[in-house]
A and B are shown apart, each in its own frame.
Chain A
Amino acid sequence: AQKITQTQPGMFVQEKEAVTLDCTYDTSDPSYGLFWYKQPSSGEMIFLIYQGSYDQQNATEGRYSLNFQKARKSANLVISASQLGDSAMYFCAMRGFNDYKLSFGAGTTVTVRA
């Protein structure tokens, strides 16, 4: 079974600044994938970034980057140059090898201030 922990219930960030969202995980699977999703108030889950457990480099997608530290079992999301439209709930999720479901953390609410 996989367990995802997001310890920050809510965060405030100033526009144009960077913010780091914490995510730690626990799994016994040797191969797994880590995902970050954004959920605006409308409810739809928007895929942001993926990191495979055997990927040598940290994943980046535009303003999103994933700080993957396998030994520490952490997969923190960094959002650079925050925009007002980044205000949303952010979820860290993982899926094990041959696992057909995503296990989600509790989420972190990010509020970007002008």
Chain B
Amino acid sequence: KAGVTQTPRYLIKTRGQQVTLSCSPISGHRSVSWYQQTPGQGLQFLFEYFSETQRNKGNFPGRFSGRQFSNSRSEMNVSTLELGDSALYLCASSLDPGTNNEQFFGPGTRLTVL
């Protein structure tokens, strides 16, 4: 079974630009979550989607948005990039976000904003 895939793996953008990151979950997984990882703030939850519905959102500005498609693939978008958006963005999928279901993570997209 293929794991969680994320594209692109690396991205360099300049301030003010926008970026779209893609995540394909493990086949059969309907829940997709996004996390931002930075040296200063650690791992922070961005949002979670299940069956194309956003069910939870972290404490991030409106510049961060996402969506999920009918095939469970998900995208996240960051508009008007700032230097502080430089981070590793991790996507995770799970069968059902029940308490005892682990989230399987992808390799991440490393975004650098210049």
Interface residue stretch chosen among B20-28, B65-73, B78-86, B97-105: B97-105
Chain A contact-residue range equals: 20 to 34
**With known contacts A43-B110, A45-B90, A102–B42 Cβ distance under 8 A:** no
Contact, CB under 8 Å: B33 / A95? no
Contact, CB under 8 Å: B55 / A100? yes
In the complex, whether A57 has a CB less than 8 A from a CB of chain B is: no
Interface residue stretch chosen among A16-24, A27-35, A78-86: A27-35
Residue in A31, A44, A100 whose CB lies within 8 Å of B48: A100
In the complex, whether A13 has a CB less than 8 A from a CB of chain B is: no
Contact, CB under 8 Å: B102 / A35? yes
Q: Which residues of B contact A (CB under 8 A)?
A: 31, 33, 35, 42-43, 45, 48, 50, 55-56, 58, 88, 90, 92, 97, 99-100, 102-108, 110
Please give me the 3 A-B residue pairs with the lowest Cβ-Cβ distance, nearest first.
Answer: A45-B105, A104-B43, A101-B45
24 pairs of residues in contact across A and B, judged by CB atoms under 8 Å? A31-B99, A42-B107, A43-B88, A43-B108, A43-B110, A44-B105, A44-B106, A45-B90, A45-B92, A50-B102, A52-B99, A96-B99, A98-B99, A100-B97, A101-B58, A102-B33, A102-B35, A102-B43, A103-B45, A104-B35, A104-B42, A104-B43, A107-B42, A107-B43
